[in-house]
Amino acid sequence: MAQRIDVKDLDIYYGDFHAVADVSMTIDPRSVTAFIGPSGCGKSTFLRTLNRMHEVIPGARVEGTVAMEGVDLYGDDIDPVAVRRQVGMVFQRPNPFPTMSIQENVLAGVKLVNKRISKADAADLVEQSLVGANLWNEVKDRLDKPGAGLSGGQQQRLCIARAIAVKPDVLLMDEPCSALDPISTLAIEDLIAELKQSYTIVIVTHNMQQAARVSDRTAFFNIAGTGKPGRLIEMGDTGTMFSSPTEKATEDYISGRFG
Ligand SMILES: Nc1ncnc2c1ncn2[C@@H]1O[C@H](COP(=O)(O)OP(=O)(O)O)[C@@H](O)[C@H]1O
Ligand SMILES: [Mg+2]
């Protein structure tokens, strides 16, 4: 089930360094939200607070709330491991486990949760997840071959299959196409368009065309200078953000005048 996320007054720190300041935003279910902005403005940092991955770095912490369907993910009784299962993540470089086969890769996350899954259920889930990631037809005859033997674009779709196999509600993607060629990039963008019917999707991208193509809403982050925290400058419907943003900094960024 796709879920709505409400972020309120979020401040993010690495030790004494205030990396991101005062973010409030709503992320809609069954839609794609793009985060754009210059390098170092805190897009990845903010993204990682949405599944409690930020705090795994020693000294890293947040203040404020991230609520999913009204439940604060940072509440006292919330298990961060359960949050990471509910909110899956796909990274910049495809990172299949190199010694595992394609099917073992798909099941890698599931096996952490449910060690006793039956062979038949596992086979069904592998197929379902690979179909869901638009990869099934390309790999169905070599499921026992190493995941590392796939092309970069296929590996990234394998990582998406691994992420959706645990049946998350939300998918976070941090520049998922930046290591891919244009054809593989389009395959991932098509896939994102399909996945948004079932998931809440957030994608960080430095590619303006990609943000315009895949997202429903866009959030622009910026940084006032080195050592200053990143801030959310403006967020809105992607069409509006790219045609008539409110803030001059947004306009300058999307028209390529900086960053
Ligand atoms: N593990 C870390 N420890 C300390 N500072 C970090 C860490 N990761 C990122 N930062 C800092 O946080 C700021 C935001 O970085 P990041 O979220 O990676 O930006 P973006 O993804 O927008 O390029 C930068 O100043 C960066 O150097
Ligand atoms: Mg980043």
Q: Are strands 87-90 and 5-14 parallel, antiparallel or unpaired?
A: unpaired
The number of the ligand 1 atom at minimal distance from the alpha carbon of 41 is: 22
Binding-site residues, ligand 1, Cβ < 6 A: 14, 17, 19, 37, 39-45, 57, 230
Contact (Cβ atoms closer than 8 angstroms) between residue 42 and residue 20 = yes
Task: Output the pLDDT for position 146.
Answer: 96
> What's the pLDDT at 258?
66
Question: At 224, which amino acid appears?
Answer: A
Query: What pTM was computed for the model?
Result: 0.96
**End-to-end Cα separation, the chain, in angstroms:** 36
Expressed in angstroms and rounded, the spacing between residue 12 Cα and the centre of ligand 1 is: 10
Q: How far is the CA of 125 from the centre of ligand 2 (A)?
A: 31
Q: Which atom of ligand 1 is nearest to the CA of 37?
A: 22
What's the number of CA atoms in the CB half-sphere (13 Å) around residue 232? 22
What is the position in ligand 1's atom list of the atom closest to the CA of 48? Answer: 17
Query: For 149, which DSSP code?
Result: G
Contact, 64 vs 8, CB < 8 A?
Answer: yes
Q: Would you place residue 259 in the very low, low, confident or very high pLDDT band (cuts 50, 70, 90)? A: low
Q: Which of 11, 13, 14 to probe ligand 1 with, by most ligand atoms within 8 A of CB?
A: 14
Edge to edge, what strands does the sheet with 71-72 contain?
Answer: 71-72, 60-68, 5-14, 17-27, 230-237, 217-223, 32-36, 200-204, 170-174, 87-90
pLDDT value, residue 199: 95
Ligand 1, atom 25, lies closest to the CA of 40
Contact 184, 152 (CB under 8 A): yes
pLDDT tens sequence across 137-194: 999 999 999 999 999 999 999 999 999 999 999 999 999 999 999 999 999 999 999 9
Residue with tokens 């390309």: 138
Domains of the chain: 5-254 (3.40.50.300)
Q: At CA 101, angle to CA 111 and CA 165, rounded to 5?
A: 40
pLDDT in tens, 106-136: 999 888 877 789 999 999 999 999 999 999 9
* Per-residue pLDDT tens digits for 82-115: 999 999 999 999 999 999 999 999 999 888 877 7
Q: Which residues lie below 8 Å from residue 42, measured CB to CB, with a gap of 6+?
A: 12, 19, 20, 221, 223, 229, 230
Tens of pLDDT, residue by residue over 10-54, are 999 999 999 999 999 999 999 999 999 999 999 999 999 999 999
